[in-house]
Structure 1
Amino acid sequence: MGSVVISLDAELGWGFHDLVEPPSDRVEAGRRGWSVMLELLSEFDVPATWGVVGHLMLDSCDGTHAEHPAPDGWFERERTAWADRDDLRFGPDLVSAITESDVDHEFASHSFSHVLFGRPETDRELADAELERCRELAADWNQSLDSFIYPRNDVGHRDVLADHGITAYRGRSPTRDGVRGVFDSTIRDRSMLVEPAIDEHGLVDVPASMFLFGFEGPARTVAESIWEDPMVALARRGIDEATRSDGLFHMWLHPNNLTHDRDDRRMRAILSYLDRQRSATELTVETMTDVAQQVVGPAGDAERATASWN
């Protein structure tokens, strides 16, 4: 039985606060895209794994986080340029929209302040503090955290994830994004499926198959004018391959990728096709934790369960 996972990096301003020149269109689109995605997922009854930046569970803060072992200047933009932008720093209304949805979404962690776990400056103390703060806040929201989505897919400190009870994380995609990725996947007919596996820390790596907004700008405009949205075509192909091969196809995106109506149309087309295939076949839509539970197996027989994906 084939399976599809959709995961989202839900971050608002925190996805860009460390950049010298944040992309204004995406910064301002975070709330819009979040709401649009929730509406579309609800319309098609598709559960997703929402990796939420922990700071968004707050409704206020002093902007200093003095007890947090972040590098000097890490919270600078929160204290200065975005000091009056509560809409970028906090999101309890959006968090509530996930937890109160009629769709059974997974509430996952995207770190507390979008720290890059794979960077040398992110030591174990900082990684531990990021996870600990997320766990505290999630408990206040009556949420458990079983999956972790690494900010900018920068994998690191997996042992810390295990220490905090995380069971699954989104690993790096084996395929390229952008024009090169579209070329490889279409011309070379590369598989869109991924295989979840147990790592040395006992965590389940649920790799991404494709980033749904990796083909943008003028190239996308040209492709759509003479053909169709190439990302929709690739997503359909991945869904079909999962159905035929009883494999796993894992798509991901940021809510802030939905900056215009045509981005909404892309996601509607993908979700509509997924819904049709799910209705017509044995295809299932799962969360990252659903996949991890299958890999580990009901009796904890990881080796046997992992082999079932191969």
Structure 2
Amino acid sequence: MGSVGSVVISLDAELGWGFHDLERPPLERLESGRRGWRRMLDLCAEFDVPATWAVVGHLMLESCDGVHADHPAPDGWFDRERGEWTDREDLRFAPDLVRGVVDSDVDHEFASHSFSHVLFGRPETDREIAQAELERSLEIADEWGESVNSFVYPRNDVGHRDVLAEHGISAYRGRSPTYDGVRGLVDSTVRSRSMLVQPTVDEYGLIDVPASLFLFGFEGPVRTVAESIWEDPMVVQARRGIDQAVRNDGLFHMWLHPNNLTRERDDRRMRAILSYLDRRRSETDLAVETMGDVAERLAVTRGVDGGTVAADGGSETKTADDD
């Protein structure tokens, strides 16, 4: 890392594709995808906070036949699109929302979240499927005039990193070294565990920009109780991570899905976090970066010798939340 602390925010922008393979998709989040997407764009614009928007490529299409006969995928992968969601274009397509990202006055990074949210680490996802998922998403991005330097794995299911490297991807979001939810809160507050992460260069030359904190890992009744006697625990966590980045000149990487913003209280959470980030940026040398920025900076730091950057000690790894 350099001598200045930085904060990264990444979003898994997926709408229905984040849930289409689930037997019972969470209805509230499913129906909140478009609302949350617009709200996050508005909030990022209000506070001039650039983010890495990892977009499912299928959303950029105007239409499709639902068959995708020339696209290899696990058996039954497109069944919901062909059946139950045939008339749910709002879940399957979103060129208007994607246009909001790429045309924003904020310098967002356009990144890939695959073509149809295939899980790269699963045994049924062979190399052919991984290549097709990445190539199709890059092809669509190119048609939009967008280049792609960063990749966010669907459900943080890391796999086929060599395929990313072969297709010119520079960075991906690695799994968080810390836990989500209550355990993560205890680790950082009671045990004073740092939420800063260290980017590393893997054996394929890709830069792993690990997640620090999933901003919606503390939900349901436990959140309601906590908020009734305290302030929003995730806002407290985010402020702590931002302050750690300032004090220790390290990297703090928050992430979420637009569909996590299902109600006004979720909007308030994100407003509080972005407002605090904006204030700390104005008071200090803190930088707000994208994953691509981090990769570019690290590449410069590495120089021409090809040396790698070692990770901090870290702890037992837990795959972050869901979709």
The alignment's TM-score, normalised by the length of structure 2, stands at 0.94
Partner of 1:195: 198
Residue 261 of structure 1 aligns with which residue?
A: 264
Deviates more, 1:36-45 or 1:291-300: 291-300
Q: 1:116 aligns with which of 111, 116, 119?
A: 119
2:40 to 37, 47, 70: 37
Tell me the alpha carbon deviations over residues 24-67 of structure 1, each in whole angstroms, 9 at most, x when there is no partner: 00000000000000000000000000000000010100000001
**Does the alignment pair 1:10 with 2:13?**
yes
Deviation at 1:302, TM superposition (A): 4.7
Aligned to 1:236: 239
Quote the Cα distance in structure 1 between the aligned partners of 2:76 and 2:241: 42
**Which among 298, 302, 307 is matched to residue 303 of structure 1?**
307
| Residue type at the aligned position of 1:77 | R
Q: Does 1:162 align with 2:129?
A: no
Q: Is the 8 A contact 1:247 1:309 kept in 2?
A: no
SS at match of 2:307: helix
Summarize deviations over 1:240-280 as a string: whole Å, max 9, x none.
00001000000000000000000000000000000000000
Percent identical across equivalent pairs? 74
Q: Tell me, yes or no, if the aligned pair for 2:200 and 2:311 is still in contact at 8 Å.
A: no
Kept in 2, the 8 Å contact 1:111–1:134? The answer is yes
Between the aligned partners of 1:301 and 1:49, the Cα distance in structure 2 is: 28
Conserved? CA contact 1:12–1:89, under 8 Å: yes
- Tell me whether 1:180 sits opposite 2:183 in the alignment: yes
The one-letter amino acid paired with 2:260 is N
**1:87 corresponds to 2:90:** yes
- Number of residue pairs matched by the alignment: 309
Name the structure 2 match of 1:275: 278
Structure 1, unaligned stretches of length 5 or more?
Answer: none
For the aligned residue pairs, the C-alpha RMSD in angstroms reads 1.4
Deviations 1:150-181 (A, max 9, x none): 00000000000001100000000001111111
Cα distance in structure 2, aligned partners of 1:52 and 1:95: 8
Matched with 1:210 is 213
Shift of 1:146: 0.4
Alignment of 1:105 with 2:108, yes or no, is: yes
Residue 55 of structure 2, aligned match among 43, 52, 55: 52
Distance in 1, Cα, partners of 2:310 & 2:209: 14
Q: Provide runs of 4+ in structure 1 moved above 4 Å.
A: 307-310
After TM superposition, give the deviation of residue 123 of structure 1 in Å: 0.2
- Mapped partners of 2:135, 2:310: distance in 1: 33
Q: Distance in 2 between matches of 1:192 and 1:178?
A: 13
Q: 1:72 aligns to what SS in structure 2? A: coil
Matched, 1:68 2:43: no
Is the contact made by 1:198 and 1:302 (CA closer than 8 Å) also made in structure 2?
A: no
Letter in 1 for 2:144: W
* CA deviation vs aligned residue, 1:191-248 (integer Å, no higher than 9, x gap): 0100001000000000000000000001000100001100000000000000010000
Residue 300 of structure 1: CA displacement? 4.0
Change (3 A) 1:308 1:14: closer
Letter in 2 for 1:64: V
Asked whether 1:291 is paired with 2:294, we answer: yes
How far the C-alpha of 1:71 sits from its partner, in A, is 1.6
Question: Does the aligned pair in 1 maintain the 2:200–2:209 contact within 8 Å?
Answer: yes
Gaps of at least 5 residues in structure 2 are 314-323
Q: Aligned equivalents of 1:137 and 1:154: distance in 2?
A: 23
- Separation (CA, whole Å) in 1 of partners of 2:34 and 2:204: 35
Q: Secondary structure at the match of 2:53?
A: strand
- Contact in 1 for aligned 2:10/2:52 (Cα 8 Å): yes
